[in-house]
Amino acid sequence: MKKHHILKDARWIIDLGAAPGGWSQIAARVTDSTNESIRVAAIDFLEMDAIPGVRFLQMDFLDDDAPAKLLEALGGAPDIVMSDMAAPTTGHQRTDHLRTMHLCEVAAHFAIDVLAEGGHFLAKTFQGGTERELLNLLKHNFRQVVHMKPGASRAESVEMFILAKGFKGRKSSVADSEPG
């Protein structure tokens, strides 16, 4: 991920599926987030130890009020939304793929709804053939979309990351642009 420089100018970060907290620690460090000036909001339904500079919400991101609570915790539009969410595995590869892809799609829609223009979205996904719709959504809303396989990932693992760089911004609807 270092070669993509997505953290270089990050000021506000949301971490979805944050436990055990590794990404949140890095996010707090690169944004100079402190408990007095929070710049990182994180969420997971699992417990996570407190991290200085990170406001953590222990709740399911799929809860209806989770997105609003995350934005409130951060206090502004994020430059980066990163998601390490994955559904608990069942051992049935197709089911596991579909469940994790659903989380990835929900995270992508959230990112498109909240990111600051020029922001980035990074998400864990599993290879398995249902990524086309997600990739089309991301390519429509971001300047560049790339797949990455982490160096620490085993060769036989289906785990991948999708990085969408350079959010183009939300399109205003015709009703928004007409004088009232």
The predicted model gives 89-98 an average pLDDT of 82
Count of positions (residues) in the chain:
180
Ramachandran angles phi, psi of 177, nearest 5°: -95, -10
Name 100's Cβ contacts closer than 8 Å, sequence gap at least 6: 85, 86, 87, 124, 125, 126
Q: Per residue in 7-50, pLDDT tens?
A: 888 899 999 999 999 999 999 999 999 999 999 999 999 999 99
Catalytic residue (choose from 3, 8, 69, 124): 124
Task: Look at the chain and report how many structural domains it folds into.
Answer: 1
Q: Which of 57, 53, 72 minimizes the C-alpha distance to 19?
A: 57
Per-residue pLDDT tens for 99-115?
A: 888 999 999 999 999 99
Q: Give yes or no: 124 in active site.
A: yes
Q: Domain of 36?
A: 2-177
- pLDDT given at position 174: 44
CATH of the domain at 52: 3.40.50.150
**Cα-based distances in Å from 150 to 13, 29, 78, 160:** 20, 21, 24, 7
pTM: 0.88
